[in-house]
Structure 1
Amino acid sequence: MAELHIRKMTQEELGLALSWAAIEGWNPGLHDAKTYFLADPNGFLLAEFDGKAIGCISAIKYSPDFAFIGFYLVKPEFRGQGYGMQLWQAAMSYLSGCNIGLDGVAAQQANYQKSGFQLAYANVRFQGEVGLVNADKPNKLKGAVVPLGTVPLSSLFTYENAFFPADRTAFVQAWVEQDDANALAYVDEGSVQGYGVIRQCQTGYKIAPLFADSLEIARSLIAALTADLPKGAAFFLDVPACHQDAVLFAKGFAMEPVFETARMYTQTQPALPLNRIYGVTSFEIG
């Protein structure tokens, strides 16, 4: 009798899994396989049954203390047979001892709680349309929005460190340098005070992340990130629901909520500056 076999994915196989995610409507970026893989080359698991790939999960161990789980998918014809639970258990075993975060659909909160996860807050995906609202509102900012490539990587990493509970420099460097994307920073007197990345996805574009020290800086960044997109193009932003200014900010760009996740952790909620997070990086890897 055939048995389920769970093993590490290759980067090429991660591309296959992303194609499954696209079918599910998760709308991955065009180059997510290359960038995601750098977060933890050991952290993407593939389930095979009778030699056929049937499911996947990401279990990213950023450090001995912090990890993120997601990208949890079993092909429809293999659901309801316990294979997903075996995948989940393999991922949780790999991440044993870590404080584990995830973004799960709200309907599955009770199941995640059975594995020790507790709700921290919701993240809401907003969708907008380029040109629907004039984003070029005047501001009184003294600094400037510049291509992130003109900013020393050390300055970017120093700024980024406040927004994530573990080091992820290899991933961040690849993320801001990926193809079919634009990465911008807001700099004032040599200091990075915000940055954002917009990348092309299967449908439209995602702004992820969008970190900023003030509402005006966030507004300046989103205006610049969307400035060269085709009029009418869809763009998306994933906003912590507990950051009310960010929610109002998204609505100010005529964006509408289209999806919601539950951010949960197995241990203490990391002390992140949620009041400066206008867009999270990824529901799949944190």
Structure 2
Amino acid sequence: MTITLRAMTAADADFGWSLTQQMHWPHRLEDWQDALLLGEGLVAEEQGQPLGTALCWRWGERWATIGLVVVDAQQQGRGIGRRLMDGLLAGLDGYQVRLHATAAGQGLYSRLGFAPVGETHQYQCPRLPTIAVPALSDGRRWRAAIPVDAPSLTALDQQAHGLARPALIAWLLRQSMPVRVLEQHGRTAGFAALRRFGRGYTIGPVIADSAENARLLIATLMAEVSGEFVRIDSDAALGLGAWLADCGLQQVDAPVTMIRGAPWRPETGGMSAWALMTQAMA
């Protein structure tokens, strides 16, 4: 029998969600719907029966991320993941592509030309303790982001990691959950988003010009979800782990960050991405 690939549609979100349920991944159906709204994907089929999925997100003309590469548990070992990846990469020629690899997928991605560049640590707390809203000093002030902020926040986001994500930033600003902006001496020092995801809430992206300001942004959002399940995904090299542990979050996973193409090198002294949107959308 022949395995074929076709473009994903919004109607495939239910199938994708069922695959991540098999894997015991935390995604809700709504998370799949949001992922498809912002990206594109492929479905592997055999005689009209869907077998697996893979999604990508084009962030500008040169950068992309790949995620939600999942194959039905009964169909694994048939090369379906490789077919899906080949199909996505054929449409991403000339792009620098980033993904986060599980232990099971790392070998395949290495054979496809991806190289490890670090780890992303996933932190969780099933019931976040009460976190006080941090006091501000040294010319800092909070404000809520508004739609008119979209271009400036998009520029800061791109400065942190090279990804041009205007559609993502605009989507975040349309959600009911807050996006907080931190200003210092009249300029934007960072921003952070809180939203529903998986088993509860996730904080990210968090874009800031320093570790201190990143911690302030995260803490002010934590203060809004005391007693809730909270997740944060952060580049291990940035060293937030000890502080997050003090806040009640524990590391539960460490997927390998892999890149195909030249790694992005952010500006010295500029913005850094202290927490991801998601591992798939980075």
So what's the TM-score if we normalise by structure 2? 0.88
Percent identical residues: 22
Structure 1 position 12 matched with structure 2 position 8? no
Secondary structure in structure 1 of the residue aligned to 2:70: strand
Change (3 A) 1:276 1:64: closer
Aligned length: 280
Secondary structure in structure 1 of the residue aligned to 2:109: helix
Structure 1 position 271 matched with structure 2 position 265? yes
User: Whole-Å Cα distance in 1 between the matches of residues 50 and 172 of structure 2?
Assistant: 27
Return the offset for 1:73.
0.2
Alignment of 1:119-198 (within 5 A): 119-132=116-129, 134-149=131-146, 152-179=149-176, 181-198=177-194
User: Whole-Å Cα distance in 2 between the matches of residues 116 and 72 of structure 1?
Assistant: 16
So what's the TM-score if we normalise by structure 1? 0.87
- 2:73 is aligned to 76
Q: Could you give the per-residue CA deviations for residues 182-219 of structure 1, whole angstroms, max 9, x where no partner exists? A: 22111235422111111112311111111222233222
Secondary structure in structure 2 of the residue aligned to 1:242: helix
Residues 122 and 232 in structure 2, CA contact (< 8 A), matched pair in contact too: yes
User: Whole-Å Cα distance in 1 between the matches of residues 30 and 193 of structure 2?
Assistant: 13
Secondary structure in structure 1 of the residue aligned to 2:213: helix
Alignment of 1:96-135 (within 5 A): 96-132=93-129, 134-135=131-132
Change (3 A) 1:224 1:234: same
Secondary structure in structure 1 of the residue aligned to 2:251: strand
User: Whole-Å Cα distance in 1 between the matches of residues 11 and 139 of structure 2?
Assistant: 45
Return the offset for 1:121.
0.7
Which segment drifts farther, 55-64 or 20-29?
20-29
Change (3 A) 1:49 1:178: farther
Return the offset for 1:79.
1.2
The correspondence for 2:237, drawn from 233, 242, 246, is: 242
User: Whole-Å Cα distance in 2 between the matches of residues 164 and 35 of structure 1?
Assistant: 22
User: Whole-Å Cα distance in 1 between the matches of residues 205 and 29 of structure 2?
Assistant: 16
Change (3 A) 1:150 1:88: closer
The correspondence for 1:215, drawn from 203, 211, 216, is: 211
Structure 1 position 95 matched with structure 2 position 85? no
Which structure 1 residue ranges, 5 or more long, are not aligned?
Answer: none
Residues 205 and 235 in structure 1, CA contact (< 8 A), matched pair in contact too: yes
User: Whole-Å Cα distance in 2 between the matches of residues 161 and 183 of structure 1?
Assistant: 17
CA RMSD across the alignment: 2.5
User: Whole-Å Cα distance in 1 between the matches of residues 147 and 260 of structure 2?
Assistant: 39
